[in-house]
Each structure stands twice: as structure tokens, then as C-alpha cells.
Amino acid sequence: MANKLNLNPTRQELLKLKVKLKTAKRGHKLLKDKRDGLMKHFMSIIREAKDLREKVEQLLGQGFFSFVFFSAKMRRSVIEEALLVPSQKVSLVATTKNVMGTEVPQFSYRQEGNFLCYDLATTSTSLDRSLQVFSKTLQDMVKLAEVEHSAKLLASEIEKTRRRVNALEYVFIPNIEETIKYITAKLNEQERGALVTLMKVKDIIAQE
Amino acid sequence: MNQGREYKIAIIGSRDAIFGFKTLGIDAIDVDSEEKAKEEVKRIYDSGSYASIFITENWVDKIKTFLDELPPRALPAIVAVPSQHGSTGAGLRGIRKIVEQAVGSDILGEK
């Protein structure tokens, strides 16, 4: 009885509670389905995210490594001059997809032009090498951004939904059920009391 | 699915590391202090014209609490990439954290 709601034991409250219980049960089922759906989607992308990340980390590490070598070898003014005007363009079109009420991004990405826009005679070959790596990795990086960010958004949504499911399942619904039981018992008790009084009154009248 | 629109990509990190990305048509933003990094992230995050922000891991570690406090939105996606010092494992740790948040335990580690 510790968890029952603080309500007057009347028939009206009982009816209200019954409606509430029905809604809560329905909501619980729906939220459970939502959680399962989100989880399914999450599972399908999280492994992809992990593999992509490992790949990008390996490639990019090399790329940065040779780029740092390049920038250490060259004078800053030369670097700036060489890389001043980018000749390659990237276009990224982003849309959002709705997964069980959660918006997740979807990128489609295109590279245009060539990154070779600098003087090959004055720059070191480390630059070519690192830019090649960067250019190649960029596709994966964009994909990684999409997948990992989706996973992140889904994870927070899953957590929220799970909390709601648990709150309904272990707190809200039991509380209502308990209260319904309490009110029913109380009403029955009242009825019995009224009956006994009635019988007593009838007895007294019959004796007279 | 909503109507798509074109976005830009940004990369944030130390000057020496990220300068090369400029030639690929990405906005390379070099930062040299935590305040600057936070400022730039905030600016990009609020501008709404970027789809994803790559930040090198050494800077992610420095402004971690700041990044965690940003409100979650569909765009832009903030992603850690390894720096010139190689991977510090911050990215994979991030994925682990996501899995733990969603599933309740780290299921990727079993492999």
C-alpha cells in the first residue's frame, strides 16, 4: 500500500484511474516497440561506425604524419602560397532521415576537380603524398561523420525511451493498479457497512 | 526524407596538421588556444551552414566538456579525427561510450 496514489476512494476516481491505466499500458507497449526499433537500427550501424573509424584513423594518421613532415621542411610563406587557392571543390548535400521519430543526418558527397593546384617544383613530395591520402580518406570521413553522429543521436534517444518504458513499467502502472485495488476494497467495505446498518435498522423496526 | 541542401565541411585543429585540407575544398580553421577553439566551434555550430565538423583528437580532449554540453542536433555532426600524433583512442572511446549508453554494456569489446 505504500505506493498508492493519494486519492479519494470514490467511484469517480476509480473510473478515471481505469482509463489512465489503459492509456498507460498502451503507451508502454508503443514505447517498448519504439525502443526495440531504435535498437535494431542502432545495432546495424554501430559496427559499421566502428570499422569506419578504425580505417579512417589508420589512414589519416599516416596522412597527417607526412603533412607535418612537409610543413616542417618548407617555409611557412611557401606553404601558404602553394595552398592559397584551392582548386578542388567538395559539395555535400545533407538530408535528414526520420528513424522512429529521431532525425538522423544523411550525407551525399561529391568531389570536384583535382587538388593538384600548386607548384610541383617548389614543394616537397610529402605534400603530394599527404594530400593524396587526405583526398582518399575524405569520402570515408564524411561517411564516418554520418554514421557516428546517427549512432550518437540514436543512443541518446534509446536511453530516453528506455527510461520512459521503465518508469511506466515499474512505477506508474503498478501504482495505478495498487490504487485501483485500494479504491475497490474501500468501496466494497463501504457497501458492506451500509448493508449492515440497513439490516440493523430493519431489525430495530421489526422489534418495535 | 527532407529536402536536401548544400552544406560546408569544416576541420579544426593545429595549423600544421590541418592546412592540407584547405586544398580539398574544406574550411580549415586553425586554433591555438582553448578559448579560440571553443569560440570557433560555437560559431560553426550556430551558423547552420556546416554539415560536419572534424576536430583533431588532441583538441577534442582539450574542450571535451564544452563539446559534451552542446545541445544534440541532427546537424552538424561533430567528429573526432586523429591528429598528427596518431590516434589517441579518443574516437574509439567515444564509440564505446555511445554503445554503453544505448545498450547498457560494452558489446563491441567482446570481439
- Does any CB of chain B come closer than 8 Å to the CB of residue A155? yes
Is A65 within 8 Å of B84 (Cβ atoms)?
yes
* Long-range Cβ pairs for the range A31-36 (8 Å, 24+): A31/A161, A31/A164, A31/A165, A31/A168, A32/A165, A34/A100, A34/A101, A34/A161, A35/A158, A35/A161, A35/A162, A35/A165
Domains of chain B as residue ranges with CATH: 8-84 (3.40.50.10580)
**What is the residue type of A4?**
K
- Does any CB of chain B come closer than 8 Å to the CB of residue A138? yes
3-state secondary structure of B32: coil
Kindly report the backbone phi and psi dihedral angles of residue A3, in degrees, each rounded to the nearest multiple of 5, phi listed first.
Answer: -100, 5
d(CA B64, CA B58): 10
**How many helices and strands in chain B, by DSSP H and E?**
5, 4
d(CA A135, CA A144): 15
- Contacts of residue B11, defined as CB under 8 A and 6 or more positions apart, other chains included, come to B18, B21, B26, B27, B28, B29, B53, B54, B55, B56, B81
Interval B40-45 mean pLDDT: 82
Residues of A (86-115) whose Cβ lies below 8 Å from B: 86-98, 103-108, 111-113, 115
Is B8 within 8 Å of B27 (Cβ atoms)?
yes
The interface predicted TM-score (ipTM) is 0.80
- Does any CB of chain B come closer than 8 Å to the CB of residue A78? no
Q: Considering the domain A11-198 in this protein, what is its CATH number?
A: 1.10.287.3240
Short-list B48, B50, B67, CA closest to B59: B67
Q: Report the percent of chain A where pLDDT is more than 90.
A: 33
Domain extents for chain A? 11-198
A111 to B101: CB separation less than 8 angstroms, yes or no = no
A149: nearest CB among B19, B77, B86: B77
Picking from B7, B27, B98, B100 by the largest number of A CB atoms within 10 A of its own CB, the best residue to mutate is B98
- The per-residue pLDDT for range A33-65, each reduced to its tens digit, is 999 999 888 888 888 888 888 888 888 777 777
Confidence (pTM): 0.79
- Does any CB of chain A come closer than 8 Å to the CB of residue B84? yes
A98 to B51: CB separation less than 8 angstroms, yes or no = no
A98 to B52: CB separation less than 8 angstroms, yes or no = no
pLDDT band at B4 (very low <50, low <70, confident <90, very high): low
Judged against a pLDDT cut of 70, whether residue A195 lies above it is answered with yes
Residue in chain B closest to A52 (alpha carbons) equals B92
Q: Report the percent of chain B where pLDDT is more than 70.
A: 85
